[in-house]
Amino acid sequence: MDDADRNLARRGHVADEVFDQLAGAIMRGELAPGTALPPERILAERHGVSRIIARQGVHRLAEMGLVRVRQGGATLVLDPHEATDLRVLALFYRFAPRSGAKGAHKRADVSDMIEKQYLQGLSIVEVASRRASSASLQAAREMVERVAATPAELARFGEFEERFWRTLAVAGKNRIFRMEVGWWYEALPERPLARAVAAASPAVRIGFYRELARRLAEQDAPTEYYLATVRPILDAQIGRARTPRRAKRSAR
C-alpha cells in the first residue's frame, strides 16, 4: 500500500468515526427529529477533522434517510423510525441500549429487540416444522441432547443457542431466515435477554430446547409449544417496558 492508499484509508476511517458519533446520537434519541445539525465548520472542529470529512459523514446520514440536507439551509435530523433503508435497522441494533438500561425510551428499545427476536424464532420453528427433513430435525434433537448431557457444552450456552438456531434455519430451507439468523449473531454479539430468561440457569433453559427439539422431530405441535412458552415471557417483558413507573413517594 503506497502513501496515497494509506491516506485514503485513513480518511475513510475518520469519516466513519464522524458518521458513527452522529448516527449513534440520532438512534439513541440524543438528536431528536427536527433538530438542526451544527454547520460543517462546527462539526469539523468538534470532531477534529476537515470540513470535507465532516461533509462525508453527513452525506452518509442523508443517504440512509437520517438527515435532510438543504442547500443553503440547516441539515435537519429525521425520525429514524420512518427510514426505509435497511441499513438503519442495523444501526438500531448496533446503537440500541442493552438489557437493564434505564429510562422508558431505552427500556422500550430493548423490549422491541427481544420481541423481534422471539417472534423471529417462532417463524423459524414454523418453517422448519413444515419444510425440514426428518433426518435434519432428528440431527438437531441429537445435538440438543448431547449438550444437555455434557456439562462443558452446557457451560457454553450462548454458543449452543447460536448453533441451534443456525441449524434450524438451514433445515427450514428458507434462505432469508438463514441470512437473518447469521446477521443477528454477527451484528449483535451481546444480545438482550428477557428478565425471566436471563434469571434462569442454562440447566433450566436447556429443558425448553429439549422439548422443542423433541416436538420438531416427532411433529408434535412444535409451533404451538414455542408460542405457549414464550408468550408469558413477552407479555411480562413488553408490559414492563410500556408501563410508566410510578414515582416513589417520599418518606415521611
pLDDT tens digits, one per residue of 152-194: 999 999 999 999 999 999 999 999 999 999 988 887 777 788 8
pLDDT tens per residue across span 27-45? 988 999 999 999 999 999 9
**Which residues, at least 6 apart from 195, have a Cβ–Cβ distance to it below 8 Å?**
99, 236, 237, 240
Please report which residue ranges of the chain form alpha helices under DSSP H: 3-27, 40-47, 51-63, 86-95, 104-131, 134-149, 151-155, 157-172, 175-187, 195-198, 202-218, 222-242
Break the chain into its structural domains and give their ranges: 3-85, 96-242
CATH number of 3-85: 1.10.10.10
Question: Counting beta carbons within 10 angstroms of the beta carbon of residue 106, is it exposed (0 to 12), middle (13 to 18) or buried (19 or more)?
Answer: middle
The residue with cell 457444552 is: 153
Exposed e or buried b per residue across 148-186, where buried means at least 16 C-beta atoms within 10 angstroms of its C-beta = beeeebbeebeebbbbbbebbbbbbebeebbeebeebbe
pLDDT at 251 over 90: no
pLDDT for 58: 94
pLDDT for 15: 78
CATH number of 96-242: 1.20.120
pTM above 0.85, yes or no: no
Cross-strand bridge partners of residue 68:
76
